[in-house]
A = this chain, B = another copy of it.
Amino acid sequence: MPASKPTPRQRAHARTRDEILAAAHKELAARGADGLSLRAVAREVEMVSSAIYRYFPSKDDLLTALIIESYDAVGEATEQATGGRAAYGRRFVRGCDAFRDWGHAHPHEYALLYGSPVPGYRAPQETIVPAARTTVALLRVVEQAHLEGALGPRAPLPPASGPLRRQCHALSEALATDLPEDVLLRFAHAWSQIFGLVSLDLFGQTVGTFDPADALAAHSFRTAATQLGLRP
């Protein structure tokens, strides 16, 4: 039973759902994740609060829909940025920049996705795939570089423990990639660094040190690319 025939009723339902979602996004951007009030959303779309429950069984479900949309947005942005024909190092850095820029443009969404988990909220299965898009976009750049033999010299890495090597192996299979273990590890570290920097920046942890963090971010991303063996 695919969308063989969207009845007028279904169309109306979907349209209202989208309206609610748009209003919720607006609220989220304006007031943040826990300032997000179902009643405020209801006011925005000129409905009574209880009517929202016809479209989203609970606030968590509304939140989930928002999270998925946001993951897709940031994933899309990063994918876009990593495309093109530039050198792999450049594409990687551009992807990082896109990630950071998106965060700056949507701080509340970023906080929702990458910040403290909302208490009582358990991320459902369907968020996992969109959540991975950003990371995978960056990883694909490294993968392409590796496949073309364009990966330059890298500093030696400490030896990996048994469990860690097993996780790398499992991850390789899950991602259907044949990146060598050490590249995978380097990528994990690079992603930690990138994510850490952007989070420190957006969560206000850089005040009094590297604030604004633009210059540090540029240097950090470039360093990460270099450590991965990506050439500019």
- A185 close to chain B: CB less than 8 A: yes
Interface mask (A68-86 → B, CB under 8 Å = 1, otherwise 0): 0000000000000000000
Contact of A223 among B123, B158, B167 (CB under 8 A): B158
Q: Shortest distance in angstroms between A102's beta carbon and chain B's nearest beta carbon? A: 16
Contact of A116 among B33, B161, B192, B220 (CB under 8 A): B33
Contact of A194 among B132, B191, B196, B205 (CB under 8 A): B196
Contact B216 A188 (CB under 8 A): yes
- A4 close to chain B: CB less than 8 A: no
Q: Shortest distance in angstroms between A114's beta carbon and chain B's nearest beta carbon? A: 7
Contact of A220 among B115, B155, B189, B210 (CB under 8 A): B189
Q: This chain: how many copies in the complex?
A: 2
Known: A116-B111, A116-B115, A196-B199. A128 touches B161 (CB 8 A): no
Contacts of A196 in B (CB 8 A): 191-197, 199
Q: Please tell me the size bucket of the interface on A.
A: 35 or more
Contacts of A215 in B (CB 8 A): 160-161, 163-164, 167
Contact of A193 among B167, B193, B205, B222 (CB under 8 A): B193
Contact of A216 among B112, B119, B164, B207 (CB under 8 A): B164
Interface mask (A162-195 → B, CB under 8 Å = 1, otherwise 0): 0110010001001000000000010011011111
- A218 close to chain B: CB less than 8 A: yes
Extra pairs beyond A115-B115, A132-B208 (6, CB < 8 Å): A32-B116, A34-B34, A128-B207, A155-B226, A171-B210, A196-B197
